[in-house]
Structure 1
Amino acid sequence: MDLPGGGAGFAEQFSGLRREVERFIANGEPGAAAQLTPEAWRLKQQLQAAGRVDAAAVSPDRQAFLEEMRPYAQAAAARLGVTPDIVLAQAALESGWGRKPLTLANGGNSHNLFGIKADSRWRGGVAAALTTEFADGQKQSRVESFRAYPDYQAAFDDYARLLASNPRYRAALGVGGDAQAFARGLASGGYASDPGYAGKLADLVGQLRRTAR
């Protein structure tokens, strides 16, 4: 990895940027580039390309989340024709690695790890939450209704059923381990309004795969 500059001053500056990047990867949300300075963002990309920060990408808490959700993800992935790590990455991306669950009015867990909204056809429980949507490229915050489930098994089952039965997501099905094809299929089907959603999801799958080596 080639980095510009030299001397003690640069070494100190680089060390500070490195700490910033590692804090971001350990605690930040996937793809939240706005939390980093431009210099630190460039360093993050260089370090990831060199395989120098992947160990921090999956902390013990995040690893525990992945292991808990893995059996559910394996079943959902088999139904969708994709690899389990793709489903796990989407659950992590949507729920902040399980740290930002959608809660019920009584404070209970909705078990909704995929940010699936409750439309007029939904007959199950509902959790209201403040969410960020993009309209004409601009962020907007508003309260939306989301589906609530009795447990994670029901959540993964509904997620797989939604993608498998909705023709909008046909391009995401049966792509095996092609995370980019899956992410593009979701994005083109309108799964999320964030214009960077596909890139964030594909990047996170790549992080999980590099860490698992």
Structure 2
Amino acid sequence: MTPQDFIAAIGSAAQSSAAQTNIPASFVVADAALESGWGSSGLTQKAMNLFGVKADSSWTGPTYSVPTREYLNGQWVMVQALFRSYSDWLGSIQDHAAFLIDNPRYASAFQFTDGHNFAQAVAAAGYATDPQYAQKIIAIINAHNLTTLDAPAAPVVTV
């Protein structure tokens, strides 16, 4: 799947989610692209998990176990981890939004309506182990002009 195909596949779901959650669609698509390798990761293909959301003890849905690369103690290491599994990408997007909304550590991110600042805020709150996470998200947003996903839809005019 090309980046353009991926954006087309999940862009409208990200915009729908943004309208309900105030999580910028540009951030959602860029995060999904980074976490899933533009939809090509095994986790995405097998578990429809776009964001690499792990299954903690509160998760009661299906899971998928996979080795993953984590940045721990100043170095990259491989660890086996349990991830949430979904039946479709929309479910993944909705659960990702609920995860961010329900976790108080990310509350400060919701003061931002653009993907750039939202990414920096969730990164500062410890969302990812990669120290370059926010910069990578911002680079994806810029390279693929994802800020257009954050623009409000034009009103429908009938004559």
C-alpha distance in structure 1 between counterparts of 2:24 and 2:118, whole Å:
10
One-letter amino acid of the counterpart of residue 122, structure 1: W
**Is it true that 1:202 corresponds to 2:138 in the alignment?**
yes
| Consecutive unaligned residues in structure 2, runs of 5 or more | 149-159
Tell me if the contact between 1:80 and 1:163 (Cα under 8 Å) persists in the aligned partners. no
| Consecutive unaligned residues in structure 1, runs of 5 or more | 1-59
Tell me if the contact between 1:83 and 1:176 (Cα under 8 Å) persists in the aligned partners. yes
Q: Percent identity among equivalent residues? A: 38
Tell me if the contact between 1:169 and 1:189 (Cα under 8 Å) persists in the aligned partners. yes
The alignment yields a C-alpha RMSD, in angstroms, of 2.0
Q: 1:180 aligns to what?
A: 116
**Is it true that 1:171 corresponds to 2:79 in the alignment?**
no
Local SS of the residue matching 2:69? strand
Local SS of the residue matching 1:160? helix
Q: 131, 136, 142: which one pairs with 2:73?
A: 136
Q: 1:45 aligns to what?
A: none
C-alpha distance in structure 2 between counterparts of 1:211 and 1:161, whole Å:
22
Local SS of the residue matching 1:67? helix
Task: Report the count of equivalent residues.
Answer: 148
Local SS of the residue matching 1:146? strand
Q: Tell me the TM-score normalised to structure 1 length.
A: 0.64
Deviation at 1:83, TM superposition (A): 3.1
C-alpha distance in structure 2 between counterparts of 1:95 and 1:73, whole Å:
15
C-alpha distance in structure 1 between counterparts of 2:46 and 2:72, whole Å:
29
Tell me if the contact between 2:101 and 2:107 (Cα under 8 Å) persists in the aligned partners. yes
Tell me if the contact between 1:115 and 1:146 (Cα under 8 Å) persists in the aligned partners. yes
Q: 26, 30, 34: which one pairs with 1:93?
A: 34
Q: Tell me the TM-score normalised to structure 2 length.
A: 0.85
C-alpha distance in structure 1 between counterparts of 2:95 and 2:31, whole Å:
14
Local SS of the residue matching 2:128? coil
Deviation at 1:210, TM superposition (A): 7.9
